[in-house]
């Protein structure tokens, strides 16, 4: 791969890539984080942490020499959290259909 295309892939991972993964993580974290003593930690912590998650992904994409590793880390985080959201919607969809009958 040419240095030019490597650079553009890195920019894509650090820019739109990091934003998408951070937003999907924010949604997914609400489903697996514990609620804590007040039962709200899973709702509040993702909202607080999203700028830091984005910054972490951004600097990882800028500083890691291996593009493959950046893509794997971002891809795994995206797949896990995206999967959790899909599972949640998959579970609520039939229940909603049942309740409408």
Partner 1 sequence: MIHLPKDETKAMVAVHGWSGILLGLLLYAVVLTGTAAVFAEEIGTWSAGHITSQSAFERPMADTMRALGDRTPKQYHEAVDLFEVGDHDLGAFFHRHEMDKGELISRGIFYVVGKDGRVTHSQQGTDEDVYGPRNDNALSSFLVDTHVRLHVPNPWGLLLTGIVGLSMLVAAVSGLLIHRHLLKDIFTLRRKANPVLVNRDRHSVAGTWSLPFAFILAFTGSFFSFFGTIGVPIVAMAAFGGDVVALTEAVYGTPGKPDPRPAAIGNFDRITSDAIVRAGAVPTFVAVENYGRADAKVTTYHPPKSGGLAPISLLYDGATAQFNQVKPLIGPAPSAGGTLAAIMSPLHFGNFAGMLSKAIWFGLGFAMCYVTYTGIRLWLVRREEGARSLGWLDRALVIVGLGLPVALLASTAAFLVAMPMGSATYWTPASFLIASAAIILAGFLWPTSTAFARVLQGAMAAIMLILLPLRLLTGGPGWASAMAAGQPVIVALDLAFLLTGGMLLWSVLRTSQSRQGAGHRVLQAAE
One DSSP character per residue, 13-49 reads IIIIIHHHHHHHHHHHHHHHS--TTTT-HHHHHHHHH
Under the binding rule (CB under 8 A), the answer on residue 44 touching partner 1 is yes
DSSP 36: T
Under the binding rule (CB under 8 A), the answer on residue 90 touching partner 1 is no
Under the binding rule (CB under 8 A), the answer on residue 31 touching partner 1 is yes
Which SS3 state, helix, strand or coil, does residue 35 take?
Answer: coil
Number of residues that bind partner 1 (CB under 8 A): 32
Under the binding rule (CB under 8 A), the answer on residue 40 touching partner 1 is yes
CB of 92 to partner 1, least distance (A): 6
- The backbone torsions φ and ψ at residue 57, rounded to the nearest 5 degrees and listed phi first, read -65, -40
Binding site for partner 1 (CB under 8 A): 23, 26-28, 30-31, 36-48, 50-52, 54-55, 58-59, 62-63, 65, 85, 88, 92
């Amino acid at each position: 791969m040419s240095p030019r295309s490597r650079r553009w892939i890195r920019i894509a991972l650090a820019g739109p890539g990091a934003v998408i993964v951070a937003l999907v993580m924010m949604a997914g974290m609400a489903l697996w984080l514990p609620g804590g003593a007040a039962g709200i930690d899973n709702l509040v912590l993702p909202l607080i942490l999203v700028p830091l998650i984005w910054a972490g992904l951004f600097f990882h994409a800028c500083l890691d020499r291996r593009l493959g590793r950046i893509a794997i880390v971002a891809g795994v985080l995206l797949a896990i959290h995206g999967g959790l959201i899909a599972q949640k919607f998959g579970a609520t969809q039939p229940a909603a259909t049942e309740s409408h009958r």
